[in-house]
Amino acid sequence: MNKKSFLLLITIISALGGLLFGYDTGVINGAQFYFSKYFELSDALKGWVVGSALLGCFAGAIIAGKLSIKIGRKQSLIISAVLFAISAYGSGLPSIFPETVTTLVIFRIIGGLGIGIASMNAPMYIAEIAPSSIRGKMVTYYQLAIVIGFFSVFLVTYFIGDNLTQAENIEFGWRRMFWSELIPSTLFLVLLFFVPRSPRWLCLKGKNEEAIQVLNKLQDEKSALADYNEIQTSLEHEKAHNTEVNYFSKLILSIIIIGTTLSVLQQFTGINAVLYYGADIFEKALGFGQEDVLAQQILLAFINVVFTFVAMFTVDKFGRKPLIYIGSCGMIIGFLLIGVSLQQQNVGIVSLLGVLIFIASFSLSMGPVVWVLLSEMFPNKIRSVAMSIAVAAQWAANYVVSQAFPMVVGSETNNNSFWNGSLPYFIFIFFIIIIIIVTYKLVPETKGKSLEQLEDAWK
């Protein structure tokens, strides 16, 4: 196998952590109607079961930084794969476990831990093995895997649900939907044993010979040596100036704050409100019938995949910041179409078009580009901890949005004669404008620079 093929293979394997992230997000969407009926859940309990995994994601991202430093990116991903498999099996509540909402929530939280660990380590690992000229494209495989997972689970849950009666789906169909995640999680676990450890982590641990061997497998000897020398120079510089990292120094704290702000703003676009509550939006807010909802959800997921491919093939050509500007303008247009059509009580094809424009715009900008930037912008010595903080904050923001969205939708203010159900979309527009401002003023362009060169850029 040549070096380019080997790099692509291990990128795809590590990106499977993203596929499981998307799959887990989508499977709860498909299964929640049936297990809600099975357990006779109130709206509050349904929200708790759906949202509980996000608490696991937050905790997983918090511990991922220290875990990544201690045992490495590869071993951390192996732990996440094990957690995915345990969650997939347990969430279906086989007879060996008590059939209670509490048991289901516990296994959802375990899955969340796996997502949190993988969401920090997978893009970081890819960034650390990829040459700078194609690093953006390589990291975008992670976001592509997320949306493919989200798309594929719609097809899987549709296939499972369509071949059973509603009574059978309520009794055991939702269990099969959860168990279907065992296939990709087991595949992820097995394949991870065939990927090398991160060369930058190996250098941090003084395993220099192994680091050189890994770099030589990924690129030509001259480029590998240049990368190795850059890593060593960076580490020696940090060692000479700081025996211990001061996370509260003005420079390091500002880098972490910028990365964390960008990470949080990704969620404040409203993307997961649209993904988690897509069926409710189509059926209630946009006036479509129940029979149309699944087809529109699959269309939504398909658009997500297509425009992630667009981002993949443009992020290293146009740069990170231009894609954010283009995507942000598109997201604003999409939400304006939804918001105005709701305000005027004229929902229909224009509203659906607004949703699709928003999804397309997010998928070519804030979806993949934020993961690229987070994996690039932090200096070697703080990358694990800093990215852990940024990703944990992202999961916290995800939880806030997923819990607040249905509350805002059902509020008296949102349903008065002025807003007519459009208020959430104008709130999201406000945050998208903030994204444009923050990106312009604070976020560096990282295209084409090595991870070590980016450290100097902050100085």
Token pair in block for residue 309: 């491919």
**Dihedral, 150, 155, 156, 157 alpha carbons, nearest 10:** 90
Structural domain boundaries in the chain: 1-195, 247-459
From the CB of residue 162, how many other CB atoms can be counted at a distance below 10 Å?
A: 10
Q: In the CATH hierarchy, which top-level class contains the domain 1-195?
A: mainly alpha
365, 303, 327: which is closest to 140 by C-alpha? 365
pLDDT of residue 452: 73
Q: How far apart are CA 83 and CA 188, in angstroms?
A: 11
- Helices and strands of the chain, counted as H and E runs: 22, 0
Exposed, middle or buried: residue 243 (CB in 10 Å: 0-12, 13-18, 19+)?
Answer: exposed
At which residue do the structure tokens 């509540």 appear? 93
Contact predicate 112/344, CB 8 Å: no
75, 350, 286: which is closest to 189 by C-alpha? 75
- Spacing of C-alpha 127 from chain mean position: 15
pLDDT of residue 407: 85
DSSP 193: T
Q: Give me Rg for the CA atoms of the chain.
A: 22
Half-sphere exposure of 423 (CA within 13 A, CB side): 18
Alpha helices in 313-348 (DSSP H): 315-318, 320-343
- For 36, residues 6+ apart whose C-beta sits below 8 A from its C-beta are 46, 49
- Residue 134 has φ and ψ, to the nearest 5°, of -125, 15
At 228 the three-state DSSP class reads helix
Q: How far apart are CA 90 and CA 96, in angstroms?
A: 9
Token pair in block for residue 406: 């249905």
Token pair in block for residue 213: 């061997």
Token pair in block for residue 299: 């269309």
Q: Is 1-195's fold the same as 247-459's?
A: yes
204, 243, 256: which is closest to 458 by C-alpha? 256
- For 70, residues 6+ apart whose C-beta sits below 8 A from its C-beta are none
Q: For the chain, percent helix, then strand, then coil, each to nearest 5? A: 80, 0, 20
Domain 247-459: CATH architecture, name and number where available: Up-down Bundle (1.20)
Contact predicate 94/66, CB 8 Å: no
Helix axis angle, 3-39 to 43-71, nearest 10°: 150
Helix axis angle, 366-377 to 349-363, nearest 10°: 20
Q: How far apart are CA 372 and CA 259, in angstroms?
A: 11
pLDDT in tens, the chain (459 residues): 789 999 999 999 999 999 999 998 788 878 888 998 999 988 778 878 888 888 899 999 999 999 999 999 999 999 999 999 999 999 999 989 999 999 999 999 999 999 999 999 999 999 999 988 899 999 999 999 998 998 898 889 888 988 999 899 999 999 999 999 999 999 999 999 999 999 999 998 999 999 999 999 998 888 899 989 988 887 787 676 655 677 888 888 999 999 999 999 999 999 988 876 666 676 666 666 655 656 666 778 889 899 999 999 999 999 999 999 999 999 999 999 999 988 998 887 888 889 889 999 999 999 999 999 999 888 877 888 999 999 999 999 988 888 788 889 889 999 999 999 999 999 999 999 999 999 999 998 988 887 777 777 666
Token pair in block for residue 415: 């349903």
